[in-house]
C-alpha cells in the first residue's frame, strides 16, 4: 500500500515514506522531470510545477521532489494509492513562499477537490489539519479542544523536518 502526498507551498523539497516498508523513491526519474506514477494537480487553480531534483542535503542523499510553481494548493497525488488505515510521512524542507512556506500530506483523496491534508507552515509556525470538500478547505478541531487553528509549533525554513500522519477509521 502506498500513501498520497502533497506539498502546499511555492517551493518545497521532499522525500516520502508510506507504511514503513513502502518508501517512495525517485532514483529512476530524470532530474527536471515530473515524478513517474504521480499526478501533478492543484485545488483552486494555478500552475504547480513538480520536478525531480538532486539535493545532497536531503536526509537520504537521494533525489527529491521540488514544487516550484504557483497554485492555490498544489498537489502531487500518488496515482495508485489506496490506504484506508495506516500512516504516511515525508521529510521536507520549506525553502520559499510569501503566502505559505509549507509542506503537507494528503490522504483519502478522491480527487483534487476532496481529501484530508495536514500542513506544516514555516511562515506561521504551525501545523494544521484540514478537510477539503468540493475544493473548499476547512480546518478541523484538535481532539479535546474546540476552535482554534491547528497547533503552534516551530517549523524552521531551510531545514529538513519530518511530518507524519497516522489514520485509522475516523481517527487522525
**Residue 137 has what pLDDT?**
95
What does the pLDDT average to over 139-153? Answer: 85
**Residue 97's pLDDT is what?**
87
Say what the pLDDT of residue 80 is: 79
Dump pLDDT digits (tens) for 81-99. 777 888 889 999 999 988 8
pLDDT for 3 equals: 37
Residue 153 has pLDDT above 80, yes or no: yes
pLDDT at 13: 57
Mean pLDDT of the chain: 86
What are 129's three cell numbers? 489539519
Find cell 485545488 and name the residue. Answer: 43
**C-alpha dihedral over 25, 54, 50, 96, to 10 degrees?**
130
Long-range residue pairs from 156-162, CB within 8 A, at least 24 positions apart, any chain: 156/122, 157/93, 157/94, 157/95, 157/101, 157/122, 158/93, 158/94, 158/95, 159/93, 160/57, 160/58, 160/59, 160/91, 160/92, 160/93, 161/91, 161/92, 161/93, 161/120, 162/89, 162/90, 162/91, 162/92
DSSP state of 80: T
* Rounded Cα gap, residues 141 and 144, in angstroms: 8
Confirm if 33 and 63 have CB atoms less than 8 A apart.
no
Show the cell assigned to 127. Answer: 501545523
d(CA 108, CA 53): 27
Amino acid at each position: 500500500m502506498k500513501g498520497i502526498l502533497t506539498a502546499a507551498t511555492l517551493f518545497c523539497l521532499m522525500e516520502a515514506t508510506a507504511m514503513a516498508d513502502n518508501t517512495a523513491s525517485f532514483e529512476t526519474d530524470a532530474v527536471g522531470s515530473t515524478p513517474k506514477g504521480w499526478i501533478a494537480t492543484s485545488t483552486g487553480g494555478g500552475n504547480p510545477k513538480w520536478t525531480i531534483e538532486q539535493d545532497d542535503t536531503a536526509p537520504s542523499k537521494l533525489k527529491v521532489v521540488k514544487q516550484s510553481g504557483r497554485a492555490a494548493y498544489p498537489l502531487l497525488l500518488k496515482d495508485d494509492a489506496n490506504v484506508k488505515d495506516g500512516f504516511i510521512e515525508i521529510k521536507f524542507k520549506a525553502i520559499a513562499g510569501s503566502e505559505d512556506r509549507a509542506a503537507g500530506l494528503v490522504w483519502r483523496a478522491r480527487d483534487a477537490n476532496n481529501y484530508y491534508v495536514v500542513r506544516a507552515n514555516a511562515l506561521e509556525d504551525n501545523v494544521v489539519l484540514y478537510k477539503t470538500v468540493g475544493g473548499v478547505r476547512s480546518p478541523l478541531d484538535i481532539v479535546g479542544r474546540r476552535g482554534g487553528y491547528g497547533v503552534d509549533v516551530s517549523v524552521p525554513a531551510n531545514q529538513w523536518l519530518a511530518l507524519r500522519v497516522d489514520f485509522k477509521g475516523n481517527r487522525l
